[in-house]
Amino acid sequence: MLDCCSRRWTLLAGSLACLTLFGSLLIQWPSLLKMTPKSETEVMSINATNTTVLVWYWPFGHKFSMDGNVCWERFGIPNCKLVDDQSMFSQADFVVFHNRELMIGQQALPVHLTRPQTQKWVWFSLESPAHNGNVELFNGQFNCTMSYRRDADIYTPYGSLVPQDFGSGITVEDFIPKKKTSLACWVVSNFAAHHKRTAIYNQLKRIIPVTVYGGGVNKHLDRKALLPTISHCYFYLAFENSIFKDYITEKLWYNGLMGGAVPVVLGPPREQYELVAPKDSFIHVDDFPSLKELGKFLKKLAKDKERYASFFNWKLKYRSTANQYVDWRERFCKICPKASSLQKHKVYKDLYSWEYQ
Ligand SMILES: *[C@@H]1O[C@H](CO)[C@@H](O)[C@H](O)[C@H]1NC(C)=O
Ligand SMILES: *[C@@H]1O[C@H](CO)[C@@H](O)[C@H](O)[C@H]1NC(C)=O
Ligand SMILES: *[C@@H]1O[C@H](CO)[C@@H](O)[C@H](O)[C@H]1NC(C)=O
């Protein structure tokens, strides 16, 4: 991040640099904190904010409070100043633009403003390219991408597995919901005939029973009922709405892995799932030469207790986290710790090609 802030920091150099250095010493060796008499300035130096992230407008218009030192107080992220006041443009190291509002013309890029030389504009989207509109309009404008793509400058996945030590005495059986009443379940919010997943579902339901929730015609599940309902299913159809590189959403992380059903995934190739989740934690539609074979396998697996349980082995070592309810502020604060490792100068000349590569 030095690069981004160098101009500002050379101005303040001398004393501030010392203070900040002292501050980082305190962070690295907390014992020093105890040995050193605490003064107002020392405490300030720990929380010194040398990265400023400006949220140009709030995604979906959902505004959050910016009271206090948001990143530090709420998320324990130091040296990070999150603001949403557009008049702070000239002081911002990062300016974040959420794609949706740009796409629908509700917001526009402030191309009339002179950007500070080291300022980075961040293109932020959690949608797949199929739902991002024509990003060609933004070619040559952005310096960073922020998305679920692993190769984005700022990687913000829909979820992840976090190593966890559950101690001894726990067995895989403890993680498998006891009462299984449905073979396969599918929760669909956006039912569209042209989705590949709809075609797959239409074929699959002729081979095995599939219980469907949502999609307008079926029983709607609210947030509270979602996971308990899924826990009664042996398998959860974690079918993405479109198929793109790394596009693996809460359908895997939340509905499937947290819901206590084995996810049957439809999305990018298996190798991409295996980069983020153990290979025996899910079943991939492409693992089978036909849906008939898939159906046969699921029916057999539901009856084979031991083999079914093996799909839960990962639960002995990891905990699944899902981010769909994480507030935007946390995502934006997380830009700060990444700042120093980003390329100093970068321009997305062809955002469209980047999206589809
Ligand atoms: C903040 O500034 C200090 C001193 O200039 C530097 O060592 C540190 O890396 C900077 N932090 C970030 C996140 O850029
Ligand atoms: C500054 O950091 C210390 C911990 O190092 C914390 O106790 C204090 O509350 C922080 N102050 C502010 C204003 O964030
Ligand atoms: C950011 O992109 C703009 C527009 O292409 C460019 O002029 C500027 O040099 C880039 N800045 C950085 C820090 O990469």
Stated as kind and residue range, the H or E segment containing 16 is helix 2-28
Chain-centre distance for alpha carbon 280: 22
Domains by residue range for the chain, with CATH: 45-157+327-356 (3.40.50), 165-316 (3.40.50.11660)
How many angstroms separate the CA atoms of 152 and 154, rounded?
Answer: 5
Report how far ligand 3's centroid is from the alpha carbon of 143 (Å).
Answer: 6
CA nearest neighbour of 248 among 227, 230, 266: 266
| pLDDT value at residue 25 | 36
CA nearest neighbour of 205 among 224, 222, 190, 218: 218
Report how far ligand 1's centroid is from the alpha carbon of 92 (Å).
Answer: 15
Cα→Cα distances 245→207, 280, 355, Å: 29, 20, 9
| pLDDT value at residue 221 | 86
Query: Which residue, by CA, sits nearest to atom 5 of ligand 1?
Result: 17
Within 29-132, residue ranges assigned H as helices are 30-35, 40-46, 70-75, 99-103
What does pLDDT average to in each consecutive run of 10 residues of the chain (357 residues)?
37 37 37 40 54 97 94 94 97 98 97 97 97 96 98 97 91 94 92 89 96 81 92 97 96 96 98 97 97 97 97 95 90 96 96 94
Shortest-distance atom of ligand 1 to CA 21: 4
| pLDDT value at residue 66 | 95
Angle at 8 (CA atoms; ends 87, 18), nearest 5 degrees? 130
| pLDDT value at residue 47 | 54
Query: Which residue, by CA, sits nearest to atom 14 of ligand 3?
Result: 345
Query: Which residue, by CA, sits nearest to atom 1 of ligand 1?
Result: 50
Read off the pLDDT of residues 339-356 as tens digits, 9 standing for 90 and up. 999 999 999 999 999 999
Q: Is the CB of 17 under 6 A from ligand 1?
A: yes
Quote the pTM value: 0.82
| pLDDT value at residue 36 | 41
| pLDDT value at residue 93 | 97
Angle at 351 (CA atoms; ends 154, 129), nearest 5 degrees? 80
